[in-house]
Amino acid sequence: MTTQAIKTGTSARLAARSNTLPPIINLSQIAPGHIHAHILILPSPYTADFRLLCARNPVALPLLAESTKPGIFDAVKSRVAWLEDDEVLLRQHVDLRRDVGGFTVWRDGEVFTDGQGMEDVVSEWKDDHVAFVIASEGSIEAALRQAGLLEGRIPHPPMYRTRKPLFPSGTFYDCEMVVSMRSFSAAETGQVRQVTAPFALAHGEPIDWGWGAVGRLGIRDIDMPEWGERPVTRNGRALGEVAWKDDEVPVFWGSGVTAQEAVAKMELPGTVMANAVGEYLVLDCKDEDVARVS
């Protein structure tokens, strides 16, 4: 199947289920305009704390939905008042164990999978697993592209661990935020903030920007992201080479990868699963659905 043939959330999920999803260069190629979401699957003892972790840290963890009850993998309940469960969010055909291009699996806190991960987690899914659906940065990237601010940029933005603590929630404490980065000219940062701000349910506006942000966030090395590609300037240089010298500055957003880092750090007993980095659950709702507050 080609990317051009995948125009809806349902068709993207069915392609993932049948392992016919083509390699994705950027999120806007698959089911354009639809929300691409992270998925995190936890044993039920940790779900109440994780739900509150999302509520307390919505910039990193914008929770859109969760499975209706432990063990259920084919129905979700919206956590957003105006996204109705069956009509808008996931119109039909969902299998949370199979509808993502690749899964990462942890067992008792150890990663069990490598690279693109497992094609499905049917064999791992237990009766007490609960799945959480968290918005990705696809919607803000689409908005930046439409505004002409992301032309020619790298497809997999660099992501970094930070020393910015999450607000704790029960089991989940001493966790830190993961951020993604895209660079812009300093003069563009105002427009970048304005264009992304409305998408408050999908990370929204940047959390910090400019070279000072690197230190404030506690990022180790701008040229050594923990995930994604190394950042390059418009002129093809390593971004770190122009630090404080050029007009180009890093701009940081909260990233849903924060969820995986939190569960990995907590070394939860049992089996935890998540979308592999760069793979997503595609929903039937649209980018504009996460661009309102009430």
DSSP string, 113-168: --TT-BS--TTT--TTEEEEEEE-SHHHHHHHHHTTSSTT--SS--EEEEEEEPPP
d(CA 262, CA 140): 23
For a copy of itself, the closer of residues 65 and 272 by Cβ is 65
Residue 88 CB, shortest distance to a copy of itself, in Å, is 16
For a copy of itself, the closer of residues 80 and 105 by Cβ is 80
Residue 56 CB, shortest distance to a copy of itself, in Å, is 5
* Residue 215 found at the interface with a copy of itself (CB under 8 A): no
Q: What is the DSSP-derived secondary structure letter of residue 81?
A: T
DSSP β-bridge partners for residue 86: none
* Residue 204 found at the interface with a copy of itself (CB under 8 A): yes
DSSP string, 280-293: -EEEEEEGGGGS--
Secondary structure element (H or E) that encloses residue 102, with its range: none
DSSP β-bridge partners for residue 182: 251
Task: Give the x-and-dash track for 121-160 against a copy of itself (CB under 8 A).
Answer: ----------------------------------------
Q: Give the angle 93-291-4 at the CA atoms, nearest 5°.
A: 50
For a copy of itself, the closer of residues 3 and 78 by Cβ is 78
26, 141 contact by CB (below 8 A)? yes
Query: Which of residues 86, 95, 208, 246 is near a copy of itself by CB under 8 A?
Result: 208
Residue 153 CB, shortest distance to a copy of itself, in Å, is 23
If binding means CB under 8 A, how many residues of this protein chain bind a copy of itself?
26
* Residue 269 found at the interface with a copy of itself (CB under 8 A): no
Task: Give the x-and-dash track for 162-201 against a copy of itself (CB under 8 A).
Answer: ---x-xxxx----------------------xx--x--x-
- Cβ neighbours of 32 (radius 10 Å): 16
Residue 109 CB, shortest distance to a copy of itself, in Å, is 21
d(CA 165, CA 278): 24
Torsion of CA 106, 110, 113, 116, to 10 degrees: 80
What Å distances lie between residue 274 and 13, 65, 105, 116, 133, CA to CA? 15, 15, 7, 11, 10
Q: Please, which of residues 36-65 interact with a copy of itself by CB under 8 A? A: 51-52, 55-56, 58-59
Residue 41 CB, shortest distance to a copy of itself, in Å, is 19
Residue 64 CB, shortest distance to a copy of itself, in Å, is 12
For a copy of itself, the closer of residues 9 and 198 by Cβ is 198
Site residues (vs a copy of itself, CB under 8 A)? 51-52, 55-56, 58-59, 79, 81, 165, 167-170, 193-194, 197, 200, 204-208, 216, 254, 293-294
